[in-house]
Amino acid sequence: MAAESLRATGLILWREYVQRARSLSFILSTLITPIFFIVITIIPPLLATPNLIERRHLTIACADPALAGELRAQLEGKGGVGHYLVTIDPVTTAGEKARLEARARAGLIDGVIWIDDAAIRTGRVDFISRGAAEFFERDYLQSAIGWAVTRARLARRGLENDEINRALAPVDLDTIALGAPAPGRVESSSGYIVGIAVVFMLEITLLSYGLMVMRSVLDDKASRVMEVLLCAATPRQLMAGKILGIGALAVTQLAIWAAMGAAILAPAAWLTHSSLHAMMPADGLNAASVGLYCAFFILGFLLYGAVYAAVGAAFNSVDEAQQWNFLITLPLVLSGVFVFYLADHPGSRLAETLSMIPPFTPTVMSMRVAAGGASGWQEGLGVAILALSVFAMVAFSSRVYRVGILMYGKKPALSEILRWLRYS
Amino acid sequence: MNILELDRASKAYDGHIAVDEVSLAIGEGAIFGLLGPNGAGKTTAIRMMVGIIAPDRGAVRLFGEPFARRHLRAVGYIPEERGLYRKVRLDEHLRYLARLNGLARRDADEAALRWCGRLELDEWFRRPVEELSKGMQQKAQFIAAVMHRPRLLILDEPFSGLDPLNASVLIDVLAELRRDGATILLSTHRMDQVERLCDSICLIDRGRAVLAGGLREIRARFSENWVALGFDGEANFLADGALVADCVRRDGHLEVRLRPGTDPQDLLKRAMASGRVTRFEAIEPSLEEIFIASVGGAGDGG
């Protein structure tokens, strides 16, 4: 009997999987979604980069050759491939200022950075151009000018170049986590980034594929095929096959995306004589963490899949199911809303509490794992709580599913749905 | 052996009794008609037979044993509502259901192809189901129910959407399946088909079985001793109240109702003695008349 049951579930799973895997929508979404994310990741910073297309011609009016030279080096970039073409004017008289303003007004130059002695003392530098400076350009110029002026001030106090370099050397911040996963240095903030990425990936995948389960059940109800199927398979086999088939589709898509990512990074690793592993963020992407993300994804999908299957069975259309859909998605949406706070405070009381509430566990606990804010026993407890809740939800949902899939007509109230639990 | 039995099966939903202690038994190789007005409880009774719902009281037996899901491998079922995956190709839909019913892939393919040829759906074999007409979809549903050679066929309105020609083809197929050893339960409102096909019937009204038994026996029970008499001559014998209870003139003949207990042969002898008899036959009520007489005016709703 068990073998027969597995066979039936397997047939249903395979059908649900193949029917969707070969659909045009799945193929397009699998290929286009990574491209979309790459575009939205790359394009805005590129657009924010000043003078992406053509270099602007600036004049630095400054009597201090060292300061002017340092600023020019910053603006023209290494090897002269920066965003500006810079000329230096050592004259900083009022007349020269008027002449340079006239050239800028005439469009012969794009802007003038006026740094006289007063500017160095007070820190108030003028940037003169025909139009107002763009937001990101202003920021960029301010950073470059500030660096050059600071060096100039230190030089005027008698420091040599070496001393200036030492004084202005960047600081590396090491964070030491006393708690989980093990006391030690956290070398970088990559866990923060990985955690946010994992939360959003889980949120999008659980939502989209959970909804797919619901729509699939609604479609089966609308086509009236359920009664025929129920003579050949039990409601539990039908529900399990559907959830597992669609879950397998989600795993397939994630695996393809991971392979696409590796395919993109592999040539870069080869070119830099590095390895794929070395190119990945150090924190939040070790084998144990990835294993936990997979566990939370699988258990999370089973939990949400069971809920969505019950909702699809209870109602007759997406419109009827809409209000319940809002409640189901709320934990996932809130996880996204609070993700930055949780990433910053992975060990906080809020994070600990939410990570033990089953609808929040997949996302919040994954974030805590990535950010190093969860101890081993908390991770284990999260998995156990989620597994138990999956078991309970499947039992509840299968009873609703069994009755709901044959109910047509008026939209059932919650009290009626709860009565279904007593039907045999 | 009885292939299917309901033993005082009952089912209620939220206080509404859908099926109330219904008992019936279908012998092996029989064609059994399950009749009743809309809302009588036929579909609920059928769902109990195929295990979609469980009875609150009573029992269902299949193939001589208490109901178990493994028995459904030998059952083919057509529900009242047409249930097909519309966006899927016909061959894929049939193959899927056949495999769920236990056939290996190759056998499923072969059976689907053979049956589609038999019921003239071969041109549509690789077309999406939604492109088939209603009648074709009903034939597809029929194929899905019979592909795995079930011993018991439970058919709820199998002729729905079929034109007379296709209905006739289906009737021939049912007769063939019966000759091959299948037992068939037919739930339908088409009395002409029940009269043509069924050996026995059960009539359900408001959840209760109001009539059950062999078709001939039931007809005889309701016959009320009417005789159609074609006669040329003096008909004074018709005034004999000891023999004749009622007489109605019809077009070209008389319909005579005999007193209970009288032998129609007595009427024949009296008629032959009085003139020339051109027609003499017992009139049995149609199943439709029996149906209406049994359920009265509460045929809709309930």
Beta bridge partners of B16: B13
User: Which among B13, B50, B81 has the least Cβ separation from residue A231?
Assistant: B50
For B17, counting Cβ atoms within 10 Å of its Cβ (0-12 exposed, 13-18 middle, 19+ buried), the class is middle
Choose from B46, B52, B146 for mutation: most chain A CBs within 10 A: B52
Q: What is the mean pLDDT of residues A8-16?
A: 95
Rounded Cα–Cα distance for residues B33 and B184 (Å)? 9
DSSP A238-292: HHHHHHHHHHHHHHHHHHHHHHHHHHHHHHHHHHTT--HHHHS-STT-SHHHHHH
Beta bridge partners of A185: A176
ipTM of the complex: 0.80
Asked if the model's pLDDT at residue A91 lies above 70, the reply is yes
Q: Which pLDDT score, from 0 to 100, does residue B300 have?
A: 42
Q: Give A424's contacts in chain B (Cβ within 8 Å).
A: 53-54, 56
Q: What is the mean pLDDT of residues A4-8?
A: 90
Q: What does the buried/exposed string (b/e) look like for A352-377 if buried means 16 or more CB atoms within 10 Å of the residue's CB?
A: bebbbebbbbbbbbbbbbbbbbbbee
Distance (Å) from the alpha carbon of A241 to chain B's nearest alpha carbon: 12
Distance (Å) from the alpha carbon of A8 to chain B's nearest alpha carbon: 6
Asked if the model's pLDDT at residue B84 lies above 70, the reply is yes
CB-based contact A406 B52, cutoff 8 Å: yes
Listed range (A293-307, B65-79, B247-261, B265-279) with the worst mean pLDDT: B247-261
Chain B residue with the nearest C-alpha to that of A14: B96
CA atoms in the 13 A half-sphere facing the CB of A113: 30
User: Which among A4, A226, A419 has the least Cβ separation from residue B83?
Assistant: A226
Q: pLDDT tens, A175-190?
A: 665 654 444 444 445 6
Q: Give B81's contacts in chain A (Cβ within 8 Å).
A: 224, 227
CB-based contact A8 B52, cutoff 8 Å: no
Tokens of A156: 């005027």
Q: What does the buried/exposed string (b/e) look like for A237-266 if buried means 16 or more CB atoms within 10 Å of the residue's CB?
A: bbbbbbbbbbbbbbeebeeebeebeeeeee
CB-based contact A223 B52, cutoff 8 Å: no
Q: What is the mean pLDDT of residues B94-122?
A: 95
Higher pLDDT, B81 or A265: B81
Q: Which pLDDT score, from 0 to 100, does residue A121 have?
A: 83
Torsion angle defined by CA atoms of residues A197, A199, A205 and A211, in that order, rounded to the nearest 10 degrees: -150
Q: Which pLDDT score, from 0 to 100, does residue A187 have?
A: 47
3-state secondary structure of A405: coil
Rounded Cα–Cα distance for residues A221 and A315 (Å)? 9
3-state secondary structure of B58: strand
Rounded Cα–Cα distance for residues A73 and A59 (Å)? 13
Distance (Å) from the alpha carbon of B122 to chain A's nearest alpha carbon: 22
CB-based contact B83 A230, cutoff 8 Å: no
Q: What are chain A's domains?
A: 54-167 (3.40.190), 188-420 (no CATH)
CB-based contact B81 A227, cutoff 8 Å: yes
Q: pLDDT tens, B248-278?
A: 888 888 888 888 888 888 889 999 999 999 9
Rounded Cα–Cα distance for residues B75 and B63 (Å)? 10
Distance (Å) from the alpha carbon of A406 to chain B's nearest alpha carbon: 9
Higher pLDDT, A32 or B116: B116
Q: Which pLDDT score, from 0 to 100, does residue B108 have?
A: 96
Listed range (A343-357, B66-80, B209-223) with the worst mean pLDDT: B209-223
Average per-residue pLDDT for chain A: 83
pLDDT band at A14 (very low <50, low <70, confident <90, very high): very high
Distance (Å) from the alpha carbon of B8 to chain A's nearest alpha carbon: 17
Q: Which pLDDT score, from 0 to 100, does residue A272 have?
A: 58
Share in percent of chain A as helix, strand, coil (round to 5) = 70, 5, 25
Q: Which pLDDT score, from 0 to 100, does residue B302 have?
A: 36
Torsions phi, psi for B152 (to 5 deg): -125, 130
Rounded Cα–Cα distance for residues B190 and B167 (Å)? 11
